[in-house]
Structure 1
């Protein structure tokens, strides 16, 4: 016996296929894939009825996990997948903070920045711990992130540590990725080449909050200078440099009441400067609490989703790359619920959550120190405050327990849930507009008067 999965979102709009069939789109969240189905099939799925179809067509629905065994507890099955991935010792993810300082003074940032860098015994302890992970026979994949503060203020430490890590990665042929999260103000083509070639950084996430005047006001340098054009010029040089071809760029915009009206101009400006490029992807995010109170400037979720839907349409028109909907389920929720993931601050403290380091009132949440005996090898970190998140969801204690998007996002951020802020991703609130974009990309006609 089979049943219709609860984990699906069906478009309100009906589209016309090239053969004249009326179809609706189904976003199957257990596999994070979109499937066009005929109107009658969509109606059945919406009503929880197994459609009367041939075996071949039913197999398609099974493959998308839109039909599942009748006895299956879907919440338990999805949660178990998250748990299994979180417990996988072969997949390691570590974020290193080369420095606790940042050269910007963004008002929405919740960190406290000090001129503390990763040096001496702490640096050697970090080197030893990461090498132990890389050399451990169970390790098959490693993601190494450079975070901060502003990590490029510790550029020498990044290069030094990478000289130890990269040869082991190459020797063991590990599945490797490395991300640097940077404000971009210190980037130049020399550093980008070093990051791509020597340090094997595969992705740079850079925040640009508006056109020049807005960005430089929203993300001010502590020196009083401007950073917008410096960032743009560095990225443009990298996009023209084949020696950096292994490095992609993410352009993130943090949006609040001050800059929401500037995002359209930013997108048009960046498109005119060649950022409609296969190595560049855009993401627009609402400002949220990071251990600080941003209630006076943050946008309401539905308001942000409405604005974002228009920006997505514009990005499509401009040829800019972005994710319409997640194309694969989250393998794990986040580092905070994954003991094979950790973050090491410059003072040696090890944290489980990316929003805990450099936040003074959360310093007590460290799960250990990199010089501790357990950290000398590749042991999984001790449990943190959020490692019981999956049990909470499985026990029906969170809104995620009944949410159709749970397989795709996993709850997004356990910390924000416990702090009283619902961190639901914006695609939950503008799914229809995103499905319209999927329809357009796949050649389906959107009827006149459809909801957009």
Structure 2
């Protein structure tokens, strides 16, 4: 026999229809309220075989004897242990940055990758590609500020592109940059090295951004960054090479009132169809207690986020991701053994927050699992968070994920936050019903066609 999954969210549309989102499959459907009540009241004899099969495939109904939580966690454990065909590496070519952002947890130093480290990094990646089952290599250039290590980026990119062409591996790259150095000529050069996606942070309008993201000498940055973005998206290469800029807004008490001003400004500049915007609440990083000092409540952030997304839709901004979360096969770099970070000292870590952050970056730290200069490597499974899904299962670090209906589409969100003692939940937990309605409005015809469950 069957039972109703506990991993469901529903919305009554007040028009004899009901939306159901299955977090086990990441699928949204709309059905009649009549059919919904048949399901809730367990009148399965009222369902024909076709409807029953669809509901089982969507994991809305499941076998009566299934322990869903065990199934989900065990599947995540299996996925995390499975060798991937994608090698995903984050590289920090420098430990330096021009900015002294209000909430940054890093300690910067004037250090770039040495020539020998660039060569050792290439050899390390080459060895992994030649001894794995990989079909693609994805490089993310990250900082500090990666453009301050531009020479290393160019040398390593060229060598990796040649290597991947030789051994028939697909190559792609992106960059997370503060945007100060992303001049038009630099962009054109980066495109040659297949760096086609960029994340650039703008924290609200000019005033709020300049009060949050300033240089180490307290210099303003908004106008320069925006000017660079406009020049880049106006370059013919941007469309020809299918480039994309994601503008990240780190939202906090001091700037949330000015996010609409930023959206309006970018729209008025005529680039809304060229860029996308992603909103993120500030979080504690390197014991800076940003969330405690200037953070918004998750519930309030979720409410604001929906309003901003509606505005983006109205103004024709790009959307780079689905409105609703997808089913997870892994959480982040922590749970993916084929993903790691290489910093400007050659150290290997499995979280973006580790290098240059005093909380984790110290001698003999367990958050580093190797150094490619010394060819010394540790078993990641034996280090903190090395068995994250077992941690969830055992409710380590006071995690509440085990009994959360969003576990299949969240995976625990940020393991390092839990490790540091902070609860960590994605914003969609607090605005999921609004997102479901938003998705339905955008794709009503497709949903009606693909999930026709009427009797």
**Shared fold per TM-score greater than 0.5:** yes
Structure 1 residues 382 and 393: alpha-carbon distance in aligned structure 2, compared to 1, 3 A threshold: closer
1:274 to 270, 273, 277: 270
CA distance in 2, matches of 1:146, 1:174: 19
Q: Secondary structure at the match of 1:113?
A: coil
Structure 1 unmatched ranges of 5 or more: 17-21, 445-452
CA distance in 2, matches of 1:314, 1:29: 26
CA distance in 2, matches of 1:79, 1:65: 15
- The answer to whether residue 109 in structure 2 is matched with residue 108 in structure 1 is no
Deviations, residues 279-335 of structure 1 (Å, cap 9, x unaligned): 522111100001221211111111211222221222222222344634522331011
Partners of 1:326 and 1:408 within 8 A in 2: no
CA distance in 2, matches of 1:339, 1:51: 46
Deviates more, 1:166-175 or 1:292-301: 166-175
CA distance in 2, matches of 1:158, 1:47: 60
**Aligned match of 1:414:** 415
Deviates more, 1:89-98 or 1:283-292: 89-98
Q: With the length of structure 2 as denominator, give the TM-score of the two structures.
A: 0.88
**Aligned match of 2:91:** 96
How far has the Cα of 1:81 moved from its partner?
3.0
Task: Map 1:224-263; keep pairs closer than 5 Å.
Answer: 224-244=218-238, 245-263=241-259
**Aligned match of 2:301:** 304
How far has the Cα of 1:40 moved from its partner?
2.6
How far has the Cα of 1:407 moved from its partner?
0.8
CA distance in 2, matches of 1:309, 1:153: 36
Q: Secondary structure at the match of 1:342?
A: strand
RMSD of aligned Cα (Å) = 2.3
How far has the Cα of 1:132 moved from its partner?
1.6
Deviations, residues 189-246 of structure 1 (Å, cap 9, x unaligned): 2222222222x12321111101122212210022444332332233233323332323
- The answer to whether residue 181 in structure 2 is matched with residue 186 in structure 1 is yes
CA distance in 2, matches of 1:177, 1:194: 15
Partners of 1:340 and 1:381 within 8 A in 2: no
**Aligned match of 1:36:** 30
CA distance in 2, matches of 1:72, 1:207: 45
CA distance in 2, matches of 1:297, 1:343: 29
Partners of 1:352 and 1:384 within 8 A in 2: no
Task: Map 1:427-442; keep pairs closer than 5 Å.
Answer: 427-442=428-443
Deviations, residues 113-168 of structure 1 (Å, cap 9, x unaligned): 11111113322221111122233341123221111101111111111100111122
1:197 to 192, 200, 218: 192
Partners of 2:380 and 2:386 within 8 A in 1: no
Structure 1 residues 330 and 271: alpha-carbon distance in aligned structure 2, compared to 1, 3 A threshold: farther
Deviates more, 1:231-240 or 1:113-122: 231-240
How far has the Cα of 1:406 moved from its partner?
0.7
Task: Map 1:370-385; keep pairs closer than 5 Å.
Answer: 370-373=372-375, 383-385=382-384
**Aligned match of 2:66:** 72
- The answer to whether residue 344 in structure 2 is matched with residue 356 in structure 1 is no
How far has the Cα of 1:391 moved from its partner?
0.7
Deviates more, 1:303-312 or 1:260-269: 303-312
Structure 1 residues 94 and 54: alpha-carbon distance in aligned structure 2, compared to 1, 3 A threshold: same
Structure 1 residues 49 and 275: alpha-carbon distance in aligned structure 2, compared to 1, 3 A threshold: farther
1:222 to 193, 216, 224: 216
CA distance in 2, matches of 1:65, 1:49: 17
1:133 to 128, 142, 145: 128
Deviations, residues 328-365 of structure 1 (Å, cap 9, x unaligned): 22331011122222111111221111111111231212
Q: Secondary structure at the match of 1:206?
A: strand
Q: With the length of structure 1 as denominator, give the TM-score of the two structures.
A: 0.89
CA distance in 1, matches of 2:335, 2:184: 37
- The answer to whether residue 55 in structure 2 is matched with residue 61 in structure 1 is yes
Partners of 1:79 and 1:390 within 8 A in 2: yes
Structure 1 residues 334 and 383: alpha-carbon distance in aligned structure 2, compared to 1, 3 A threshold: farther
Structure 1 residues 288 and 46: alpha-carbon distance in aligned structure 2, compared to 1, 3 A threshold: farther
CA distance in 2, matches of 1:47, 1:347: 61
Q: Secondary structure at the match of 2:89?
A: strand
